[in-house]
Amino acid sequence: MNYTIKDNKIEIFDADTFEPESVLASGQIFRFGCVNDVWWVCSGENRAEIKKLGENHYLIDTNNAKFFENYFDFSTNYDIILTRLGKHKVLQPALEYSRGVRLLRQPLLEVIINFIISANNNIPRIRKSVQGICEQFGTKTEWGFAFPALEQLSKATIQDFTNLGCGYRAPYLVDTIAKLQDEKILKSLLTAKDTQTAREILLSLKGVGPKVADCILLFGLQRFDVFPVDTWIHKVYVQNFNGQETNRNKITKWFVDTFGADSGYCQQYLFYYKRKDISLK
């Protein structure tokens, strides 16, 4: 995939492994949308609009091109990943359909907060809560409200989060935000020697169970040897891999043992494909 950057615009050519809807609607983020065929996405203090110019040809107009170059992981050659995973015949229909999916490189704090809110929740409610948090505690910019910094989030109370629709997760958010004031925790996550060490740190945070921890590892720490298992992936495991296990931690281990360092990529391809309610052949 070829692209150029000029004046905070990223023009992408031959984008066969980048497709806006596949990337943005694949369950990784909650601040995105589409208006008049133009996709938009916000992260931190940054916003981008993505317009299709032609077949596999896109223009990303943003306030921070370097941020989004990294955010969309344009430095990674996804053709190589797809080739490796394509050796598994059962994956081939999903890989073809989900070819435009990319794993986003998101700010860690944003991922932690978003995925605590996501636990046992639905996407419209998650999106509403996250947007409300940004509007109440984030910095106002020329395009809207940025995702709040840790200092801004520290001012939020349990009642604030409850009023914003976070439900039983509200005290978890307050507790975790207070713990993250200790800069050593975020630093230890970013510098953990291996995935299991980072997972144990995450599991010490209120509101972070095994599935949420795996999402944070994948989307916030770029640990690709994880495989978050939710209802959709459980269906894939049973229906398409003839899986018999019911314990989701063991299902996660089975997928990681099978797909190794490409597990996180595989999970996203399968998740996006299955969410479209198309069965693997």
What one-character-per-residue DSSP string does 241-253 give? S------HHHHHH
Is residue 211 among the annotated active site residues? yes
Q: 205 with 173: CB under 8 angstroms?
A: no
- φ, ψ of residue 61 to 5 degrees: the values are -105, 120
Q: 47 with 41: CB under 8 angstroms?
A: yes
Q: 203 with 90: CB under 8 angstroms?
A: no
Positive or negative: CA dihedral 213, 90, 265, 25: negative
Q: Which two tokens stand for residue 183?
A: 């800069």
**9, 66, 187, 211: which one is catalytic?**
211
Spatial distance between the Cα atoms of 111 and 217, rounded to a whole number of angstroms? 9
Query: 1: buried, middle or exposed (CB in 10 Å: 19+, 13-18, 0-12)?
Result: middle
Catalytic residue ranges: 211
